Amino acid sequence: MEQRKSALVVLNPREARIAAALFERLFPADEDGPGATAIGVLEYVDRALSGAYRDDVETYRLGLAALDRAAHQLHYESFAGCDPELQDAMISSLERSELPDFRVPPQRDFFQLLRAHLQEGLFADPAHGANRDKLGWKFLGHPGIWLKNSAEENLSEEPVTKGGRIQSLEDLGYSLGCDPHEPADIPGYDPQKSVEPPAGVADVVLVGMGAMGSVVAPVLTRAGLHVVALEAGPWRTKHDFVPDELGSAYYCRGDMGPKFLAETPRWRRNAGEPTREATFSLGRMMNGVGGSVIHWGGALRRCHPHHFRYLAHVRESFGEKALPQGHTLADWPVTYDDLEPYYTEVEYLVGVAGDDSNPFVRRCKPYPLPPLRPFRTGEVFRKAAGAMGLHPYPTPVAVNSEPYNGYPATTYGAWSGGFGPFNDERWHPGLTSVPAALSTGNLDLKTHCRVVRVLTGPDGRASSVEYIDANGSSHVQRARTVILCGYTFENVRLLLLSGDDRRRDGLGNNTSQVGRHFMTKGWADVYGFFPDTVFNKHTGPAAQMWGLDDFIAADFDSASHGFVGGATPNVENQALPIQISREGLPPDVPSWGKGYSDHLRRWQHVCAVRLQPESLSYHTDFLDLDTRHRDRSGLGLPLVRITCDLRENERRLAEWMEVKAEEILKTMGATETWRGPRFRGVCSSHDLGGCRMGEDPISSVVDPDLRVHDTPGLYVFGGAVFPTCPGVNPTLTMWALCLRAAERLAQRLRLGEEP
């Protein structure tokens, strides 16, 4: 122990003794296995405080000193010298924010930080200085990193142990700390040219080469248009992706999104309240060519026809009185039939794996690939839902169930959602769309270039963008047309930052609509314990999922249950060590100590039904710029401020759906069920609205072709334009909508018309 202490570089000996005692009580050794000390949590935390968590050093110093002071008040020399029962009592008080004279840091926040770092130290890859001798993974009975699983393992009713072999990054030949390198073998792309000054006026400048910009670029360039794409991140390839849960996964550090991490929005539940850093219920944004779909789960589902006329549907089905007070629900200015051919085009571009077993959505062509193969959880769910008279189906996903587009079939590795594809088996635009656009010779792709403002000319038209290149130099790229292709928060922020003499409050904002009608999804998980069932969710990717559309279908009578809307339940694979440690706990299980560790050992017998809810838009929920907080990019731009809460209609919806999920789990065989947090984060990776699409310039920001009403030549492509928030993964609809708009724009520009 003394040798380990001497190796610490941040915590002094007294702090180390306090922290060691604290972590050991949070995860104590017992008759069944080692505790935090033996697994090396203290050494991991000290190493992290010298690097990734250097901003937390002062929090640790203040918090550990305050904990020791509390021990002094109880007449002990130090927290480390207290007997275990008293230590546990003090930790319980810390968790409840009840320790006397402990004001800085906030007690509950400090406890949560300690617990998160404990989980990382226990279960992160040993490459981080954690999980000594893989003892954390051995504790769970988790085999670590396997990038290939068999069909038999997917369906096994016995624990899949890989013969007792546990693999880490080192075992597979991976290492940490490698900076992303740009691809050198893509004709037409040279990252060194990104710092060259702009060369003339472009027909179109794409602000962002993420999910939307990458997919529309071929449409524009094939039309003979000169396109400049400005992307703030790099171009990552499979050579940059590492199966490192702690570093990569968006529910951990999310290192693939440094720009977004430096500009995380602020959040308050209601106007007039103080803000805090936004929290996440699902996913964080990634920066780079292809965008966040590089680390997505891959779900590509269609909206139902009635979702495009949802206000009319509610009025016709339930009457005006069913709508909650303060809502701003609106119909879309496009229909399902308008988008159906584009849905199909995207599905064949991507190579979506699925079938026709969802009876609620009509199609003109079958999916190009068969669904992913069966898995244990999906089979149990399928049989139970069918027995309840429901209509389960395999979620269509952008994963190759068979070789497609020259790329291989999936090997069913579980290190998938939250990671880049290690062998290009999961589609993203950098595989096909971006090379296709470059091959035309009409695309000038500049990475590491961040747009900070849209500029307008004397006639009020969008005429150019100001951007900062990788060397920190400022440039202005002129263009006939500017398309904002970022994520919802960045598109809204750029509009608000780009005001001019005619539109002082921001472009598109002459009628104060930019940022309005914001919607997010309060993802929730409901869990079941199955003493006689082993799920083996570590044997496949999150893209192996099954779901139900019964509760968002046109004939679902939500009003009779006291709310407007619905949700889609689903189950999925992918159980990774840190992920397991952060699942929701039964109400009788503590969040630390022996009760917590005993519960973790049951992970193979736990199954979650995940609920993806619909949500309405309200006058009370909106985006604007924070007046106090700025990003850490070096530019000091104001952060987006989110004002949003789970409103009463959505609370009633959540309550009803959670009961329904419990019924499904019990039919599956659960002997015990419990509910996870209902609104654990305001950011969901399905953050929609803020630039509403509509025919009326008074009540919307863009028209059906995604043109900004009050700023000719300016477009917004992305989820910000959605008028509603269906309980369906939005990416496929975004692509269909943006492909349609790009085709119509290309036609106008070819004909010499105003864009």
pLDDT tens-digit series, residues 315-329: 999 999 999 999 999
Residue 450 and residue 296: Cα distance in Å, rounded? 23
pLDDT tens for residues 367-397? 999 999 999 999 999 999 999 999 999 999 9
Q: What is the pLDDT of residue 180?
A: 64
What's the 3-state SS for 559-581?
HHHCCCCCEEEEEECCCCHHHHH
Number of C-beta neighbours around residue 687 at 10 A: 28
What's the 3-state SS for 681-695?
CCECCCCECCCCECC
Q: Which of 738, 732, 697 is closest to 717 using CA atoms? A: 738
- For 24-48, what is the mean pLDDT? 96
What is the DSSP code string of 430-487?
A: TTTHHHHHHHTT-EEEE-S-EEEEEEE-TTS-EEEEEEE-TTS-EEEEEEEEEEE-S-
> Any idea which residue has 């996964």 for tokens?
249
Q: Which of 626, 378, 321, 676 is closest to 492 using CA atoms? A: 626
Confidence band, pLDDT 50/70/90 cuts, at residue 12: very high
Residue 663 CA from chain centroid, whole number: 28
Q: What is the pLDDT of residue 179?
A: 64
- For 494-502, what is the mean pLDDT? 94
pLDDT tens for residues 105-149? 999 999 999 999 999 999 999 999 999 999 999 999 999 999 999
Peptide bond into 429 cis (omega under 30): no
For the chain, what's the residue count?
755
474-484/202-207 β-pairing: parallel
Poorest-pLDDT segment among 31-35, 679-683, 708-712: 679-683
Q: Quick check: 530 and 537 in contact, CB under 8 A? A: no
What ranges do the domains of the chain cover? Answer: 2-139
Q: What values do phi and psi take at 492, rounded to 5? A: -65, -45
Residue 289 and residue 435: Cα distance in Å, rounded? 11
Helices (H), ranges, 124-240 = 135-140, 151-155, 169-172, 211-222
DSSP helix/strand/coil, 624: strand
Residue 54 and residue 60: Cα distance in Å, rounded? 10
Q: What tokens were used for 332?
A: 């879309």
Q: Quick check: 450 and 210 in contact, CB under 8 A? A: no
Residue 4 pLDDT > 80, yes or no? no
pLDDT tens for residues 315-366? 999 999 999 999 999 999 999 999 999 999 999 999 999 999 999 999 999 9
pLDDT tens for residues 503-518? 999 999 999 999 999 9
Q: What values do phi and psi take at 313, rounded to 5? A: -60, -45
Residue 314 and residue 554: Cα distance in Å, rounded? 10
Residue 50 pLDDT > 70, yes or no? yes
Residue 3 pLDDT > 60, yes or no? no
Q: Which of 749, 738, 752 is closest to 346 using CA atoms? A: 738
- For 681-690, what is the mean pLDDT? 91
Q: What is the pLDDT of residue 178?
A: 67
Q: Quick one: CA dihedral 79, 82, 83, 86, positive or negative?
A: negative
Q: What tokens were used for 96?
A: 């409840």
Whole-Å CA distances, 488 to 543, 622, 656, 688, 717: 24, 12, 29, 6, 9
User: How many alpha carbons lie under 13 Å from residue 549 in its C-beta half-sphere?
Assistant: 24
pLDDT tens for residues 565-601? 999 999 999 999 999 999 999 999 999 999 999 999 9
